Amino acid sequence: MLRLSEIDVNLLVVFDLLYRERNTQRVAGQLGVTQPAVSHALKRLRQLLDDELFERTSRGLQPTPRASQLHPGVAEALARLHETLNLRDDFDPGTSQRTFNLAMTDIGEIIFLPRLLGYLAREAPGVRLSTLRSHHEDLKHGMENGQIDLAIGLIPQLGAGFYQRGLFVQRYVCLMRQHHPLAAGAFGLEDFMAATHAVVVAKGTGHGMVEEELARAGAKRPIRLQLPHFAAVPYIISESDLVVTVTDKFAEATRERFRLKVHKHPLPFPEIPINLFWHRRFHRDAGNRWLRGRLFEMFAE
């Protein structure tokens, strides 16, 4: 029994053309090789298949019964192989039903999803999104195996094997209700230290740097509430006298709806780069390219 590893696909191409043309010179011309090269290929095929395959007659080369038996399957296999290798890596957002999995924080969901979903409703109505929290090794492995298409945020652990592109930088501000006693006028370090605070302890995110910087500056302030995420912050702040340290993008996305006041933070924090990440395995994937292109167009500064 012949194994596929023993067959040179080029020999099958020669066989298919010989069956159609019945002339080694014409086959050589189509392949751009010499006539002896075609004859040599035929010789190898005869040895592999233990059959003459073509005999010279007064009407030129004629296939043997074995060649006639083999040709339909060989021709179909070559056609399928040609079709497969020439498949276009296209992505049509207007007809796609693909689900994209995005790793982002709850702040990311608030900043990115409203505009992105609005765009998809108009331009890619069948495309679905799924967001998830995934950190460190889980995130890395998820992106390597294609379970996560893109990640957005401050993710320094994604190094070798990943592409990244900057979207914007975030700065920290103080957020409070519009009619908070400290809302009017300047908001300095003494005001910050005297205010009662809500603190978001978002493990595995860049926001953990806030508490580190405050501790380094010796900025101890009264804390009444600790939260593990940001989603509830504007609801709570708008109905209390608590002050919270958040990113400027989060403040921009929530202040009008919840009637909040934004103050420049009295302490200097490093700017936080927010990047878009994808694994190199999917760098040329048409759908991945399309989505990251739209994200960059919509959000890059």
Summarize pLDDT for 198-222 with one digit per residue, the tens: 998 876 566 767 777 777 777 778 8
User: Given the DSSP bridges, would you call strands 223-227 and 99-103 parallel, antiparallel or unpaired?
Assistant: unpaired
99-167+274-299 shares its CATH topology with 172-270: yes
Q: What is the arithmetic mean of pLDDT over 134-161?
A: 84
HSE-up of 40 (CA within 13 Å, CB side)? 7
Q: What is the arithmetic mean of pLDDT over 189-193?
A: 91
Q: Which pLDDT does position 211 carry in this prediction?
A: 73
* Average pLDDT score over the chain: 89
The secondary structure element, H or E, covering residue 213 is helix 208-216
Q: Which pLDDT does position 158 carry in this prediction?
A: 81
Please name the residue that has the structure tokens 């006298």: 241
Q: Is 136 helix (H, G, I), strand (E, B) or coil?
A: helix
Please name the residue that has the structure tokens 């999917």: 282
Q: What is the arithmetic mean of pLDDT over 217-242?
A: 89
Residue 156 reports pLDDT greater than 90: no
41-45, 177-181, 293-297, range with the lowest pLDDT = 41-45
User: Which CATH architecture best describes the domain 4-85?
Assistant: Orthogonal Bundle (1.10)
Q: Where are the beta strands (DSSP E) in 5-87?
A: 54-57, 60-63
User: Which CATH architecture best describes the domain 172-270?
Assistant: 3-Layer(aba) Sandwich (3.40)
What is the distance between the alpha carbons of residues 118 and 116, in angstroms, rounded to a whole number? 5
Q: What is the arithmetic mean of pLDDT over 11-25?
A: 88
Q: What are phi and psi of 175, to 5 degrees?
A: -120, 135
Q: What is the arithmetic mean of pLDDT over 162-179?
A: 94
Residue 259 reports pLDDT greater than 80: yes
pLDDT classification of 255: cutoffs 50, 70, 90:
very high
What is the distance between the alpha carbons of residues 153 and 164, in angstroms, rounded to a whole number? 10
Residue 56 reports pLDDT greater than 80: yes
| pLDDT-above-70 percentage for the chain | 95
Max mean pLDDT among 28-42, 131-145, 250-264 falls in: 250-264
Please name the residue that has the structure tokens 């200097």: 268
pLDDT tens for residues 82-113?
A: 777 766 668 899 999 999 999 999 999 999 99
What is the distance between the alpha carbons of residues 199 and 219, in angstroms, rounded to a whole number? 13
Domain ranges of the chain: 4-85, 99-167+274-299, 172-270
Asked if residues 100 and 129 have their Cβ atoms less than 8 Å apart, the reply is: yes
Asked if residues 277 and 101 have their Cβ atoms less than 8 Å apart, the reply is: no
Asked if residues 152 and 110 have their Cβ atoms less than 8 Å apart, the reply is: no
Residue 270 reports pLDDT greater than 90: no
Asked if residues 278 and 150 have their Cβ atoms less than 8 Å apart, the reply is: yes
Domain at 99-167+274-299, CATH class: alpha beta
Q: Which pLDDT does position 254 carry in this prediction?
A: 94
Q: What is the arithmetic mean of pLDDT over 127-140?
A: 85
Please name the residue that has the structure tokens 């929290």: 133
pLDDT classification of 298: cutoffs 50, 70, 90:
very high
Instruction: Give 77's contacts (C-beta < 8 A, 6+ positions apart).
Output: 12
